[in-house]
């Protein structure tokens, strides 16, 4: 789960990482109250759960109260990469002598955390890795030993620092690592980490992404998963989460419903194998009831891009007859708004097939044949 910049900075400050003076504002009046403390110039920064806000016009600099007021009015309620801006962070503009990058993230290939630093801050680290890979410093973190002060000092030295500045910079690196560990972060990042003309270091921007699987340890954020405007999820993904469904929106026109993540992934591959494009990933899970099936169909039918729905069920814990009843219940409630292709194999398979075929719903037993059929229908409707 992504946190807003202001939330990440609040946490960073709690750990002793220097951040610019500022406050959150949801109106021009609140922004003007903030600059009474910070003074001007200030940065007015849209709070949106997306990267690249600056390039998208989401960060404005103001040198007077009037400019601040206009900047806030311009940013509030606008959309940045599909995200509606509901608040802005107004903070003092930091004069940068040099901009660095430092982050702690998960290295999945090596099954450990890794600290990443660069002398090129202020731009996306992926761009630096492509254009000047030698400026990227990666330090794998031993999960038993952790990231210690001597490791942090070594990173600071490799960035060209010595003496007190090296010590201060290393202290910030260590504090950010502690944030990442304490908050079960997939990513904790300062970009840019600004060095001022006075030799101080300030986190001018901050990102913190918490592993969803660890949110039970962070109840203050758990409710955000289902709050509109407080998550990066699309409206359909948000609705799915409220209903307890594992759903990811994709860009195609073949809707997919399956039971089990592996089966759904295989279904996506089969659709692409036959030249189609999946519209979503939707896993109804094991033991899904008729009620769950109705919710899943309603969700996929709600996507205007979907031309056909492919239901792929391999019954184990999930009973095929229950799935069949759910399909018929959805058909009775709202009708089949789009063509539906069903593949049904496994527990109570014969009963499930009987229920569907008696009401005119054709059932296939081959995933490949069903995928091919769905792609053909989508092609004709598309």
Write the pLDDT tens digit of every residue in 185-198. Answer: 999 999 999 999 88
Instruction: Summarize the confidence of residues 128-154 as an average pLDDT.
Output: 93
Domain identity same for 131 and 78: no
Domain identity same for 85 and 159: no
Instruction: Summarize the confidence of residues 229-250 as an average pLDDT.
Output: 78
Angle at 9 between CA 5 and CA 13, to 5 degrees: 180
Structural domain contains residue 16: no
What pLDDT score was predicted for residue 381? Answer: 67
Residue 152 has pLDDT above 70, yes or no: yes
Q: What is the pLDDT of residues 130-142, one digit of tens each?
A: 888 889 999 999 9
Q: Write out the residue range of the structural domain in which residue 169 sits.
A: 98-221
Domain identity same for 88 and 102: no
Domain identity same for 156 and 176: yes
What pLDDT score was predicted for residue 232? Answer: 63
Residue 212 has pLDDT above 90, yes or no: no
Instruction: Summarize the confidence of residues 109-115 as an average pLDDT.
Output: 95
Instruction: Summarize the confidence of residues 213-229 as an average pLDDT.
Output: 77
Q: What is the pLDDT of residues 362-372, one digit of tens each?
A: 899 899 999 99
Report strand pairing: 340-346 vs 308-315: parallel
The per-type count for the chain, helices as H runs and strands as E runs, is 13, 18
Residue 123 has pLDDT above 80, yes or no: no
Q: What's the CATH code of the domain at 164?
A: 3.30.470.20
Q: What percent of the chain has pLDDT over 70?
A: 96
Q: Residues 342, 345, 347, 349: is their CA dihedral positive or negative? A: positive
Which of these three, 221, 246, 272, is where a domain ends? 221
Structural domain contains residue 54: yes
Q: What's the CATH code of the domain at 341?
A: 3.40.50.261
Structural domain contains residue 252: yes
What pLDDT score was predicted for residue 220? Answer: 87
Instruction: Summarize the confidence of residues 42-64 as an average pLDDT.
Output: 92
Residue 225 has pLDDT above 80, yes or no: no
Q: What is the pLDDT of residues 330-358, one digit of tens each?
A: 888 877 878 999 999 999 999 999 999 99
Structural domain contains residue 227: no
Q: 97: burial class by Cβ within 10 Å (0-12, 13-18, 19+)?
A: exposed
What pLDDT score was predicted for residue 238? Answer: 78
What pLDDT score was predicted for residue 227? Answer: 61
Residues acting as catalytic residues: 101, 189
Confidence of residue 128 (pLDDT cuts 50, 70, 90): confident
What pLDDT score was predicted for residue 217? Answer: 93
What pLDDT score was predicted for residue 185? Answer: 97
Domain identity same for 244 and 207: no
Structural domain contains residue 159: yes
Closest among 87, 102, 110 to 30, alpha carbons compared = 87
Contacts of 66 (CB under 8 A, 6+ apart): none
Domain identity same for 288 and 165: no
The count of domains in the chain is 3
Distance CA 175, CA 152 (A): 10
> Is residue 89 within a helix (H) or strand (E), and if so which, with residue range?
strand 88-92
Domain identity same for 148 and 191: yes
The DSSP result for 293-346, as a single string, is HHHHHHHHHT-TT-SEEEEEEEESSS-HHHHHHHHHHHHHHH--SS-EEEEEEE
Domain identity same for 256 and 297: yes
Domain identity same for 63 and 174: no
Distance CA 155, CA 136 (A): 11
Domain identity same for 102 and 198: yes
This prediction's pTM: 0.76
Structural domain contains residue 60: yes
Half-sphere exposure of 96 (CA within 13 A, CB side): 16
Instruction: Summarize the confidence of residues 249-268 as an average pLDDT.
Output: 94
**Ramachandran quadrant class, 69 (left: phi over 0; alpha: psi -120 to 50; beta: rest):** alpha
Structural domain contains residue 229: no
Q: Which two tokens stand for residue 129?
A: 């890795």
Which of these three, 221, 252, 270, is where a domain ends? 221
Domain identity same for 110 and 84: no
Residue 244 has pLDDT above 90, yes or no: no
Average pLDDT, the chain: 91
What pLDDT score was predicted for residue 210? Answer: 95
Lowest mean pLDDT among 3-12, 19-28, 174-183, 284-293: 284-293
Which of these three, 52, 71, 92, is where a domain ends? 92
């Amino acid at each position: 789960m992504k946190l807003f910049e202001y939330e990440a900075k609040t946490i960073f400050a709690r750990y002793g990482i220097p951040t610019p003076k500022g406050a959150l504002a949801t109106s021009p009046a609140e922004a003007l109250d903030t600059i009474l403390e910070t003074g001007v110039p200030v940065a007015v920064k849209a709070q949106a759960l997306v990267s690249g806000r600056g390039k998208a016009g989401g960060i404005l600099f103001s040198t007077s109260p009037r400019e601040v007021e206009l900047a806030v009015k311009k940013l509030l309620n606008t959309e940045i990469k599909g995200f509606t801006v509901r608040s802005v962070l107004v903070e003092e503009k930091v004069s940068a002598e040099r901009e660095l990058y430092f982050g702690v993230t998960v290295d999945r290939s090596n099954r450990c955390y890794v600290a990443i630093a660069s002398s090129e801050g202020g731009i996306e680290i992926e761009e630096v890795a492509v254009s000047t890979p030698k400026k990227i410093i990666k330090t794998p973190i031993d999960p038993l030993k952790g990231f210690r002060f001597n490791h942090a000092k070594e990173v600071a030295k490799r960035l060209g620092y010595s003496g007190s500045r090296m010590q201060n910079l290393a202290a910030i690196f260590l504090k950010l690592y502690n944030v990442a560990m304490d908050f079960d972060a997939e990513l904790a990042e300062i970009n840019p980490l600004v060095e001022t003309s006075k030799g101080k270091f300030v986190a001018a921007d901050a990102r913190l992404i918490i592993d969803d699987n660890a949110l039970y340890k962070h109840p203050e954020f758990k409710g955000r998963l289902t709050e509109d405007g407080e998550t990066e999820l699309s409206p359909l993904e948000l609705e799915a989460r409220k209903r307890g469904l594992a759903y990811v929106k994709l860009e195609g026109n073949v809707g997919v419903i399956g039971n089990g993540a592996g089966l759904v992934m295989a279904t996506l591959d089969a659709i692409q194998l036959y030249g189609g494009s999946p519209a979503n990933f939707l896993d109804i899970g094991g033991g899904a009831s008729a009620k769950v099936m109705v919710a899943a169909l309603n969700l996929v039918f709600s996507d205007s891009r979907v031309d056909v729905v492919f239901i792929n069920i391999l019954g184990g814990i999930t009973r095929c007859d229950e799935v069949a009843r759910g399909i018929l219940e959805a058909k009775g409630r709202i009708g089949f708004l789009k063509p539906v292709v069903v593949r049904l194999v496994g527990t109570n398979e014969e009963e499930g097939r009987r229920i569907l075929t008696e009401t005119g719903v054709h059932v296939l037993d081959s995933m490949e044949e069903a995928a091919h059929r769905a792609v053909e229908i989508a092609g004709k409707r598309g």
